[in-house]
Structure 1
Amino acid sequence: MPANIAEGFEKRTKPDKVKFLNIAQGSLEECRYYLLLAKDLGYGENENLREQLEETSKLLESYMAAMLHSS
């Protein structure tokens, strides 16, 4: 996920930047799935990590929205 954000940062056009942020959001959803799977398989609680993913998701969504609405 951080690598996608970094790659998008270097892109010149807004659509290209948003594309990589969208890919990062998809990677975040993958992480969310793996945390749920780990819990279901009995590897322990990971509520703290899930909360951090949720906060990261909100920040990423806000960043993408701000970028789309900027001139």
Structure 2
Amino acid sequence: MEYTELELWKESRVLVNLIYQVSKLFPKEEIYGLTSQIRRCSVSIPSNIAEGCGRRTSADTIHFLHIARGSLYELETQMFIALDQNYLVKGNFDHIFGQILKCKKLINGFINYYKKTK
């Protein structure tokens, strides 16, 4: 199966798109700060999933899935910071937070799958 067919990869792309949409509303002085950081962080999630799958070994795939999972947690923290700074309305935060949780569940399941097949 190609990584582009994985529900995890597809849902992480949904998350990236949500991040880009809401970060357009952040203050312009944040363009090189939080805006740039959360965009890079969100993009690293599907990118690391793809890279791990492209390595074609369970150990490498697991390694890159762990990196992607770390980026999910980093992004989650950055979303709390954006909320604290009033850059996000609660409804947008809740929507993004739900997508982050969905991705966390999928990535944890995928890591567990690969650990069993290792």
Q: Do both share a fold (TM > 0.5)?
A: yes
Report the counterpart of residue 95 of structure 2 in structure 1. 48
Larger mean CA deviation between 19-28 and 9-18 belongs to 9-18
Q: Does 1:36 align with 2:83?
A: no
For structure 2, the 5+ residue unaligned runs are 1-44
The letter of the residue matching 1:12 is R
User: Is residue 27 of structure 1 aligned with residue 68 of structure 2?
Assistant: no
TM-score, structure 1 as length reference: 0.93
User: For 1:10, which of 51, 54, 57 is the aligned residue?
Assistant: 54
Superposed displacement of residue 39, structure 1: 0.6
Matched, 1:58 2:91: no
Q: Secondary structure at the match of 1:12?
A: coil
Distance 1:70 1:17 in 2: 11
Listed one character per residue, the Cα deviations across residues 40-64 of structure 1 (whole Å, up to 9, x for unaligned) are 1112221110011011100000011
Map of 2:25 onto structure 1: none
> Residue 17 of structure 1 aligns to which amino acid in structure 2?
T
Runs of 4+ residues over 3 Å off in structure 1? none
Q: For 2:56, what is the secondary structure of its paired residue?
A: coil
Distance 1:52 1:16 in 2: 25
Letter of the 1:24 counterpart: A
TM-score normalised per structure 2: 0.58
